[in-house]
Amino acid sequence: METPILIVGAGPTGLVLALWLARSGISFRIIEKNAGPGLASRAMAVQARTLEFYRQLGIAEQVIGGGIRLEGIHLRDGSREVAGFAFGDIGTDISPFPFALSFPQDDHERLLVKVLEAAGVRVEWNTELIRFTDDGQHVAATMRKGDSEETCEFAYICGCDGAHSTVREKLGLGFPGGTYQQLFYVTDVAASGLALNQDVNACITPQSFCLAFPVRSSGMFRLIGIVPQEVAGREHLTFEEIRPFVQRQLDIEVSQVNWFSTYHVHHRVADHFVQARALIAGDAAHIHSPAGGQGMNTGIGDAVNLGWKLAAVVRGRADRSILDTYETERIAFARTLVATTDRLFQGLVGRGVWPWMMREVFLTRIAPLLLRSRAARRAQFRLVSQTRIRYPDSALSAGSAGKIRGGDRLPWLASQDNFKPLNSLNWQIHVFGTPEPALRELAARHDVSLHAFDHDGAAQAAGFARDATYLVRPDGHVALAQADKSTVALEEFLVQWVG
């Protein structure tokens, strides 16, 4: 087919999937029922792992230039800091991007649309998916733009169309989970106070919490929190009705309100992410609380995972069965993330002994002591930055060498920048030492690039074994790791998965 893939939805997930396919030379269409990128947004944080993917796509510096680097995290009781830490140098040997970025989703989307347009791809705005059928050989999708409808055939349809996904609903997939009873608010304001700086500031009290971080320009801040119970039942709620609560909670003074909205938060994961020739990603597949700033980044991770596998199938380099690994890898992470953020959120704002201990004992007494430890701060960075994500149980993961196992994210070495070859978006072999001639021959035979690095002190500390073979996937995860010199297992893996 001239256009084998239809992407439904042009939020960050759909746009990144489109960009990965475009960089891979795969033809597609991307449709969006709205007239253009969002005018306001709730998603803000861009984590290190997402920036690593953006570096592969060649847009990391553009994204960083459009946002504000967040330098640390602070837990507060009004103007008093209870616990916190600066990112500082804790992640400099973990990622090329040892920080989080504040970059509003609407600005984020506009940048991605601009990059796509520069690549010759245009989003089809005001175009809605009405229905589709999947006969096992192709997908027939009917789309409506204005008063006209068209039906086209595609090899695959990808639902990146949000929490109310048409693709998911037409597939009849369950979306189990629940809805938090609390009403959330989100607003962009000009404000001043000790709790407002270049960091993430969180104020947590019984039955409430508020996050504050810089956005867009100097003096502007995004506030996300729970609407106080005293006013939560009012219709057409405005910021003025919660202003006294917010200013008192953070000990700040708000001088200007740019926009304000309220919403309910859900925690759900779809029963499946893949059904025949239809796939879902992002909010269409999973939604959860804003705790940790993980939602948008998880959707972008879905897009990258799905993008390279779709590209391989369309090119004829991989069997369709590789798409099954998209579900097994990403649904496991989504379920873990939803469960974790749910426990965290309930611990922060719930009632009972456990939430009380979380707020009054752990956050105020134990957390400050833990965060004095560099090891604890590094563990926290790995967790929030999503650099800890791994796929040990995937069919695409095998073997181990040194401290590295199949499914692990490739460790980063600043001294040699072993991430640079990942910009090819292709499979590759990494060796820290001297590759055997047989390995070079095998790589050439399967059209897989081979990269040799020094096995220096940094490589040893990162867990790489000298002269071991690491087969690296297009998304930067290690597929196969082996310390022995035999190429039999590697060739079998390449034949099965790489072509």
Contact 479, 378 (CB under 8 A): no
Region 463-479: what's the mean pLDDT? 98
State the amino acid at position 167 in one-letter form: V
* Tokens found for residue 330: 């990403």
- At position 437, the amino acid (one-letter code) is P
Say if residue 96's pLDDT is above 90.
Answer: yes
Which class would CATH give 398-498?
Answer: alpha beta
Residue 293 half-sphere exposure toward CB, CA atoms < 13 A: 30
pLDDT grade for 410, boundaries at 50, 70 and 90: very high
Using CA atoms, how far apart are residues 354 and 310, in angstroms rounded to an integer? 44
Is the per-residue pLDDT at 10 higher than 70? yes
Question: Higher-confidence residue: 117 or 39?
Answer: 117
Name which residue leads in pLDDT, 75 or 258: 258
State the DSSP code for 286: E
Q: How high is the pLDDT of residue 1? A: 64
Rounded distance between C-alpha atoms, residue 89 and residue 249, angstroms: 31
Average pLDDT over residues 408-424: 97
Handedness of CA 211, 215, 220, 222 (dihedral sign): negative
Lowest mean pLDDT among 99-103, 139-143, 280-284, 302-306: 99-103
User: What is the reported pLDDT for 67?
Assistant: 92
Q: What is the pLDDT of residue 218?
A: 66
350 vs 489: which has the higher pLDDT: 489
Return the higher-pLDDT residue of 91 and 87.
91
Helices (H), 134-190: 166-171
pLDDT of 424 > 80? The answer is yes
Q: Is it the case that residue 150 has pLDDT exceeding 90? A: yes
Q: Helix-strand-coil percent breakdown of the chain, rounded to 5? A: 35, 30, 35
pLDDT, position 78: 65
Domain boundaries, the chain: 5-65+105-176+268-340, 398-498
* Highest mean pLDDT: which range of 259-263, 291-295, 361-365, 459-463: 459-463
Q: What is the DSSP letter of 450?
A: E
Dist. CA 114–CA 29, nearest whole Å = 16
Model pLDDT, residue 116? 98
Q: Please report, rounded to a whole number, the percentage of residues in the chain having pLDDT higher than 70.
A: 93
**Residue 169, pLDDT above cutoff 90:** yes
pLDDT in tens, 271-322: 999 999 999 999 999 998 776 678 899 999 999 999 999 999 999 999 999 9
Predicted confidence band at 41 (pLDDT cuts at 50, 70, 90)?
low
340 or 463: which leads in pLDDT: 463
Assigned fold of 5-65+105-176+268-340:
FAD/NAD(P)-binding domain (3.50.50)
B/e letters for 312-322, b = 16+ CB within 10 Å, e = fewer, are bbbeebbeeeb
* Helical spans, DSSP H, in 123-222: 166-171
User: And the tokens for 498?
Assistant: 């790489």
